[in-house]
Amino acid sequence: MRPIKTIIEIRYKTPSNQFDFVSNIINAIGGTPPPDSKSFLGGGVNVQLKNKKITVIVEPKRLGINLEDTSLTTDQLKASVRDLVHRINNHMNWGVMERVGIRTTWIKEVDDFDSFVAKIKDIFFKPNVLLNESIDVAMPLTMLGVNNSKINYNFGVMKKEQLLGQYMEYRDNINVPEVFTLVDFDYFNMLNRNYSKSIFSNFLNEAIDAGNKKAEETFTLLNI
């Protein structure tokens, strides 16, 4: 399977010196630097690579990447993310990764919205007054991953217009069904370790493989 959307976020313990040069200049001339929150020039950089459906956000203590190229296999996706994160980190020199999160979104076509909502109710929920009145359902769960990683998992039924309006940044030439089940899988950990290509690569593999597995398990439970 291939995720329709992948978000990578790395939060760092200290700001990159690429943003902190104002404090360095003040130190060099014997002054007192301002607090971290006031020592940066600008709030960050936002770059869109529209032909690749990638957005990169670089902030003093944060790196964010949004990737929506559904033509990539999971192996190609891993390689693309790994290369991009490594090149940016080599330039920025952040140091300690405080928190790393990788969020993947997976979909599979279903025939009809209302009938599939009813099917989810039958499989996962016990009938009650509130459930009987609901016209849509979702099931958020918190799970444990590898090495104390945590997972925010959710799934439900969605229509194409909802996906384009709520999830997708790149809406042109997107091939998705009119109605589908969506699995939203957010895999994260408080690493508190210096960035290295191998540490990030291992975490990336864990996150995408776990998301793929959980999406497949969900779709199997729903018999789709």
Structural domain boundaries enclosing 139? 5-221
Q: Which two tokens stand for residue 60?
A: 């003093």
In whole angstroms, give the CA distance from residue 105 to residue 79.
18
pTM above 0.75, yes or no: yes
Domain count, the chain: 1
Residue with tokens 């895999």: 187
Q: Tens-digit pLDDT profile for the chain (224 aa)? A: 999 999 999 999 988 877 766 566 666 666 665 555 444 545 678 899 999 999 999 998 999 999 999 999 999 999 999 999 999 998 888 889 999 999 999 999 999 999 999 999 999 988 888 888 898 988 899 999 999 999 999 999 999 999 999 899 999 888 899 999 999 999 999 999 999 999 999 999 999 999 999 999 999 999 98
